[in-house]
Amino acid sequence: MSGAKPGSGSGSGSQSTPSIALDRFLASIASGERSLASLGFVLFWGWLVTRWLYDWTLGRWGIGPGAGEPFLPSAPLESVAAVFEGKQVALPLGPVAIPTDWIASLFDGAALAIDIAPALASGAWYTILLTIAAIALGFCIAVPVAVLRVYGGPLRWLALAYTELIRGTPLLAQLFVLYYGLPLAVWLNDISVIGRGFVPEYAFWIAIVGFTINGSAYQAEYIRGALESVDEGQLTAARAIGLSKLEGIRYVVLPQTLRYAIPAWTNELVYLIKYSSLAGFITVPELYYRASRIASSTFEYTPIYVLLAIVYLGIVLSATNVMDRVERYVAVPGIGQVEGRQQATGDEAAADAPSDEDTDPGTETPERSGA
């Protein structure tokens, strides 16, 4: 190749100048994507946290516009939108002509976003709180259920019955049974602190119970799949060094299992974030509930649901990123590594593959590396 250094040999590690330039170009694109993603992350969570803190403190004390009120006025944007509305002439912008109706819709959407931002932020708080509580409490139920399912002997049928009962019935039906069919609402309503100050109403706590039970069944199946992926010989080895069966599961099998289950947990977390909207059917003021109420009163369905989708997307991408970092943080070299489960790209595979010169045709296939 023209880009190869003289005398450097024709090994697979040499790269031509166009290849190096392409690698640098791709690296600059990846760096730009990371910077853009970081900026979006900071802006999204900066807005949410600032909104929450203000509504809980300064807004309640009468400082600023007040709790639940927008930080900025939307009237100037609505005035600009009114200027462009009804215009039939497209606005020339260089070689491109932009219809003025689009510009009016853009300013109208920005004004609407300012108006409903406090309500969306408040709903996002309930959505996030409900999701975190449900997946954390569900995990505490899912682990023993999954262990019982795999190692429980005859008792595994109890775990199987629990899992299939919960997975086989709609989440909405479970919420309605908990909310209307059981006296949970009466019990919770009798507790004096429920619904006072920062403590949510009883419907929220019933939603946590419902989502916890529902999520625990799905998490139990994820963990069961990961349990069965661990070699049985490891539990045998644990018994051989004097550990009981329960200790072998606790100290040898589960640490590997929980790492293997993280990708499935990420999927469950995304599921809970989106399906927390079902809590709105029992009057929990989460994100979807608040957006649908506003849309019903203003009839601005399309822009409001677009803004709702943006907030959901911000929460989902943040959760996915956090879980990805957790997976890399808890990975043990040689066991459950993220990189070890990912397929190598064509270039990486070619670089890792032994060349013909390095392989002695008269010997057996070299032993695989630790990865």
Greater confidence (201 vs 145) lies with: 145
pLDDT of 366: 37
Q: Would you say 246 and 288 are in contact if contact means Cβ atoms under 8 Å apart?
A: no
Range of lowest pLDDT (202-206, 207-211, 226-230, 363-367): 363-367
Among 174, 270, 182, residue whose Cα is nearest residue 222: 270
- Rounded distance, CA 12 to CA 236, Å? 44
Calculate the alpha carbon distances from 58 to 47, 52, 71, 179 in Å: 15, 10, 12, 34
Bridge partners, residue 96, by sequence: 93
Band (98; pLDDT cuts 50, 70, 90): low
The stretches of the chain forming alpha helices (DSSP H) are 17-56, 75-84, 100-151, 156-167, 171-176, 184-189, 202-229, 232-240, 245-248, 254-260, 262-275, 287-298, 301-330, 338-341, 346-352
- Number of residues that this document lists for the chain: 371
**Does residue 217 carry a pLDDT above 90?**
yes
Q: How many CA atoms lie within 13 A of 118 on its CB side?
A: 16
**110 vs 1, more confident:** 110
49: its two tokens: 């946290």
Domains of the chain as residue ranges with CATH: 121-331 (1.10.3720.10)
Please report, rounded to a whole number, the percentage of residues in the chain having pLDDT higher than 90.
31
The pLDDT, as a whole number, for residue 264 is: 86
- Give the C-alpha separation, 68 to 51, whole Å: 9
pLDDT of residue 232: 81
pLDDT digit string, tens, across residues 99-135: 777 788 888 889 999 999 999 999 999 999 999 999 9
pLDDT at 340: 53
What is the reported pLDDT for 155?
A: 86
* pLDDT at position 199 over 60: yes
Average pLDDT over residues 181-196: 81
pLDDT recorded at residue 371:
31
Summary mean pLDDT of the chain: 81
Q: Is residue 369 pLDDT above 80, yes or no?
A: no
What is the C-alpha R_g of the chain?
Answer: 28
pLDDT given for residue 194 in this prediction: 80
pLDDT at 165 (0 to 100): 93
Sign of torsion over alpha carbons 86, 90, 93, 96: positive
Convert the pLDDT of each residue in 270-298 to its tens digit: 989 988 889 988 888 889 999 999 999 88
Q: Are 311 and 143 in contact (CB under 8 A)?
A: no
95 C-beta neighbours (distance < 10 Å), count: 5
Structure tokens at 160: 């199987």
Residue 223, amino acid: I
Rounded CA-CA distance 77/108 in Å is 7
Q: Which of 16, 4, 9, 2 is nearest to 358 (CA)?
A: 9
Contacts 24+ apart (CB under 8 A), 313-319: 314/40, 314/44, 315/124, 315/127, 315/128, 315/273, 316/270, 316/273, 316/274, 318/41, 318/44, 318/45, 319/131, 319/266, 319/269, 319/270, 319/273
